[in-house]
Structure formats: structure tokens, C-alpha cells
Structure 1
Amino acid sequence: MLAGGVGGARFALGLREAARALHGDAADIRIVANVGDDMWLAGVKVCPDLDSLMYALAGVGDTERGWGRAGESERVAAELAAYGVGWPWFTLGDLDLGTHLARSSMLRDGASLTEATARLSARWELGARLLPVTNDEVPTHVVTGEGVLHFEEWWVRTRAELPAHRFVQHGLERSRISHAARDAIATADVLLIAPSNPVVSIGTILGIPGVRDALETAPAPIVGVAPLIAGRALRGMAATCLQVIGVEADAAAVAAHYGARRAGGLLDGWLLAEEDAGSIGGLAELGIVAEARPLLLTPGGPAQQVAEDALALAERVRAARPAPPPAA
């Protein structure tokens, strides 16, 4: 699965249950995660999307806020603010800081981000492997009329209300897909695009050199789950980000933005909400097999059902493929 943070985490919980129902303990889920939101803050490496995925799968995430750890305290953040360190509007909880300190220590000792993520994840039984799409730093910045902001500052401090001109991932051209992410894509039975932000989460993943090549040559069907229902984002501010790049806030428009795989794009299949069922015919003309199902990712059964529907669509796509030519 290719995923961002909060929406990706909700879908990951459903996928874990769906995969366990199908394959039991043999289920092997690998999540290639966005790292464009990452930053160094108050001397520690913060990875919002990786941590949202890890905390959700570990069962320790704050489900009310949608990010961070449950049962947090903020004594250290208060001390940092008293010293004028960090961003006062981006509070790091004490438990969360423990994660960032541990990760920073590992990175400074020479571990790659992939290795550090594996060591952090080993604390819990996640039922999935978390894989940064790259070990390189590719922080997303937002170009506005008032200057350039880190994406998290634009997102959290300004609530995306400051008009954005474009998004820039610094260092993108020098980055490379991680070996673990490439292997996950190449060996997958099914490739799923989570209902994450198409621009700054999935878009950043796709922009890492080597990712599109890996997807193009992957034998598995690629099925995406729409991040919008009737023009409204499931989580976050996807509609605002889509507007910046000139794409309509519509499930079918996002699918067209990703493109049909057989035409050089990304998707074989697209799972969209029942409210958007009228788009199925138009997507078929583009070469994308689409199905409409309930898409609300509430915990438990509904999220699992969305994942099961995505997996079923992948099998439908696989079955419709022409048979390979006989061996000579």
C-alpha cells in the first residue's frame, strides 16, 4: 500500500483485518509511506505520516485528535516554549517526543530511515511493515505570496488558508526510492493506493525517482481508493491541495489525474463512493475499472469492508487481464 498519514492509517487498520481474514498469520502487508511532511524540529526528526501509521496500527494513537499518542502530556513542550524553541503551534507530546528522540539517536548513529523505522516498529505487533518511500530528505514546502513555508506550517499554523501557488519537495531530484520500498512494489500480489492526499502524500511518493518505474513494471494490479466523497475530502484538506494544482475536487478527477496504467498512468482500478457512481462510465472510457461502494473509514467493520472491496476489485482487474502468450 502507498499511503500518507491519517487517512492512510485508517485504511491500514481495515486492510490488516481484511488480510488476516483472507490469509491469517500469513498475511504480509507492506506500507510504503510518504516522508514529505518530515522535518527536524527542536533537534529531533519528526515523521508525521510514519508515526500516524505506526501509532494507529499499534493501537496507541489518539483517535479523537487523529494524530499523536493517546494519553499524552505536554510538559516538555511547555518547557521548550518557555525557552523559545520549536513551533508553539506544533506541539510535540511527551510520549511522541520519546519516539522522535529515539529515531534521531538511531539516525545520528548511522541507521537509515528504513532501519530506524523498523527498530521503532518492533516495539509493537503492527501486523504490517512500515517502509519510508525513500531514505533521503525531501521536505515539502509551500510557495505562497508571503514567502515559502514548510508544509506543516502552512497546514497547521495557517490551516491552509494562506493561498498557495505550488508545492515543492526540496531535494527530490537527488532522492531515490529505498531498496525496501522497491522490493515491496516488485513482489506485491496487490498494490493499493490509500485514500490519502493525492497531491502532498501520494503525489510526493510518486515523485521520488524510481517509484513510477517500479509501479510500471510491477506485475500486481494497482487499485486506488478515492479520497473524496461527493467532492468532500475524507480527512484533511485534499480539496485545497487539488485546487493548487488545478485538479477538480472530485473522485473521478483524481482518478483521471493519476491516469490509467495502460495509458502510461497509475491505475488499473478505482474504488469510489456510491455517491460518485455516475462517474464509472467515464472512467471506463479512460481505461480504469471503477466500482462504487460505501467508503466511510470508521473503525472496525466499515474500514475492513472498504479494504475487502478494494482487494476484490484488484482480483476483478487481474481476472480481466489477457492471458500471457504460451511459452515457446
Structure 2
Amino acid sequence: MIVALSGGIGGAKLALGLSQVLPPSDLLIVANTGDDFEHLGLTICPDIDTLSYTLAGLDNPVLGWGRHDESWGFMDTLGALGGPDWFRLGDRDLAVHVLRTHRLRGRETLSSITDDVRQRMGIGPRILPMSDDPVRTRILGDAGWIDFQDWFVRQRAAPVVRAVEFAGAAAARPQPEVLAALRAGPRAVAICPSNPFISIEPILAVPGMRDAILASGAPVIAVSPIIAGQAVKGPTAKMFAELGTPPSAAAVAARYGDLLTGYVMEEGDDATGIAPRVFRAATLMRTLDDKVALARAVLAAADALR
């Protein structure tokens, strides 16, 4: 079993690569839910949906989010009526949010809904939320605390980041099947190349999650989302700089601290000061072959550390 911790776009690429080289029963993907929010009366789970669409072959490679077979009648009508259209919901994507919200109101868990949708989309590996309890990432800017999607989407990540918090994390419980997989002694825990501040640290903030990873005895291997001081996608580099640390692969490794036993980073990047054992690979994933090659590199690193 490989337990993979993942955010959205970057993490989903490696998750797809892992799904191509592992039997479905040997891969468990733990999705960040700190990005989740309530919008237009619906519960939106961006990272769960990005992972699901990517592994189902439904993702939109042009936008980097949503589905490739999308139409936009709902949003066009909403905007024409003066509604809040800053968070784009395609017509097919909207059906997922409506169904999820309906079932959550019927007292089903996010885990069971996600797993059912996963199976109906024909996805083999399990995708589970980090917790069935709500955790919401918030950003402290100069004007005060901002809900994550407001900061990231509506304000295009423009406000300077002074701090990050995970509201509800202290009361959240880790997803039970994730804990069971960690107790069973997985082959490795892979931290996908996602933003550490807003994609991976919400998972680790759930009480007991970090301890369970350390107690598993498995190699813990992170893949750097930073190449030559720049983020492959998203605000990772900006957040490092605004929180007082020059962005680099080494800065990401330091952020995870003693959790890591291995670290996969771009072949030419500076590894000075990185504590865990470093493994070199091509970490920019443009094609499916790139994703598969990086997945194989992560698995080779895991086996070298066992």
C-alpha cells in the first residue's frame, strides 16, 4: 500500500502516475479538504474533485481545474442575473456538488459519498478525505482574515499572506480508514508535489495524523513542488516569500521537518541543507509518461529507504 497525501492539480498528476503503476488496491489517496467551502448553498470540495476528474480522465488540461467536457449555461445565466459568478461551476461539475450537498444533508459522510462517486466514475484507487469533519483554511492578509477561496479565486491570491490557519482542525478526527492503512504498515507515505501551506499542512493539522504517519514505520517521501525557486503552478513560491523564507526545494523540505525520510527533487536544483535523503528525478509533469516516470522514481526511493 502506498498512502499518498495530495492537494489538487500538482498532487493529482502524481496520483495519476501512481495509479498507472500500482494495482488499485495498493494506492490510497488522502485528499486535502481545507480548500472546501460552502457556495450558493453547496458544499464544494475542489481537491477531491480535481483528483477524481484527473483519475477518471475527465480533467480539463487547459484550465487545470474542472472537467474537459464542460458547458457553462448555469454560470452564464447566474452572471446575467447579477449572481456571484467569481467561482466558476460548470454544468456537469455542478451536478457533483448538488449530489454531494444533498447526501451530506441526509447525514452521509463525505468519505462514503466520495467513495461512491469514485466507483461510479470508474476510478480504481481509493480517494478519501483527510477527515469527515469540516476544516477550513483561512489566510491572514493586511485587511484581516480571508476565507481561502475568497483569497485564492476571487482575489486571485493577490493579498499578501501574513499567516495561515486551519479553522476546525483542532476538533477534527482523521479519516478512520486512513489511520487503519497507516497502522497496517504501508510500503511508503508519499507527499505529492502540492503546496505545503494550503494542501499538505491541513492534512497534517488534523490531530493524530502526523503521529500516525511517523508511527507507521514507512518511508515518508515528499516530491518538491518548487523547481529553480519557482512553483510549477499556484502560489507556493509567493507564500514562502511573503512568510519570510526564500522559495526553494530546500525550503519545502525544511517545512516538513522530521516527518521526511526521503525527498525527490529536480535534477539540477541545490540540495544544500536538506536533511532527508535526496533522490533526483524530472519532477515537471507535462505528459502521462512524465507522471508515470516520476511515480516510478518515488517508488524506487521508497524501496531504497525500506
TM-score, reference length from structure 1: 0.88
Per-residue deviation at 1:254? 1.0
1:210 aligned partner:
208
Tell me, in whole angstroms, the C-alpha distance in 1 between the residues paired with 2:72 and 2:223: 36
- Deviation track 1:125-182 (CA, whole Å, cap 9, x = no partner) reads 2121101001111111112122322111111122212112111211111111110221
Tell me, in whole angstroms, the C-alpha distance in 2 between the residues paired with 1:2 and 1:206: 9
After superposition, residues 89-104 of structure 1 pair within 5 angstroms as 89-104=86-101
After superposition, residues 165-244 of structure 1 pair within 5 angstroms as 165-187=162-184, 188-244=186-242
1:77 aligned partner:
75
- Deviation track 1:78-113 (CA, whole Å, cap 9, x = no partner) reads 33334444x321111110000001111110111111
- Deviation track 1:49-88 (CA, whole Å, cap 9, x = no partner) reads 0000000000011111000011211111233334444x32
Query: Could you tell me which of 299, 302, 305 is aligned with 1:314?
Result: 302
Gap change, CA 1:68 and 1:291, over 3 Å in 2: same
Gap change, CA 1:115 and 1:207, over 3 Å in 2: same
After superposition, residues 1-328 of structure 1 pair within 5 angstroms as 1-19=4-22, 25=23, 27-85=25-83, 87-187=84-184, 188-259=186-257, 265-276=258-269, 278-279=270-271, 282-283=273-274, 286=275, 288-318=276-306
Answer yes or no: is the 8 Å Cα contact 1:247–1:257 preserved in 2. Answer: no
Answer yes or no: is the 8 Å Cα contact 2:24–2:126 preserved in 1. Answer: no
- Matched residue pairs, number? 302
Tell me, in whole angstroms, the C-alpha distance in 2 between the residues paired with 1:139 and 1:242: 20
Answer yes or no: is the 8 Å Cα contact 2:31–2:129 preserved in 1. Answer: yes
Query: Which AA in structure 2 matches 1:275?
Result: G
1:262 aligned partner:
none
Tell me, in whole angstroms, the C-alpha distance in 2 between the residues paired with 1:149 and 1:18: 40
Answer yes or no: is the 8 Å Cα contact 1:198–1:242 preserved in 2. Answer: no
Tell me, in whole angstroms, the C-alpha distance in 1 between the residues paired with 2:121 and 2:183: 26
1:22 aligned partner:
none
Per-residue deviation at 1:220? 1.4
Structure 2 stretches lacking a partner, 5+ long: none
Per-residue deviation at 1:27? 4.8
Tell me, in whole angstroms, the C-alpha distance in 1 between the residues paired with 2:303 and 2:78: 51
Gap change, CA 1:4 and 1:180, over 3 Å in 2: same
TM-score, reference length from structure 2: 0.94
In terms of mean alpha carbon deviation, does 96-105 or 67-76 score higher? 67-76
RMSD (CA atoms)? 1.5
Answer yes or no: is the 8 Å Cα contact 1:200–1:241 preserved in 2. Answer: no
Tell me, in whole angstroms, the C-alpha distance in 2 between the residues paired with 1:242 and 1:177: 27
Q: Secondary structure at the match of 1:131?
A: strand
Q: Secondary structure at the match of 2:265?
A: strand
Tell me, in whole angstroms, the C-alpha distance in 1 between the residues paired with 2:57 and 2:38: 26
Tell me, in whole angstroms, the C-alpha distance in 2 between the residues paired with 1:249 and 1:181: 31
Q: Secondary structure at the match of 2:14?
A: helix
Tell me, in whole angstroms, the C-alpha distance in 2 between the residues paired with 1:255 and 1:140: 21
Tell me, in whole angstroms, the C-alpha distance in 2 between the residues paired with 1:302 and 1:225: 14
Q: Secondary structure at the match of 1:199?
A: helix
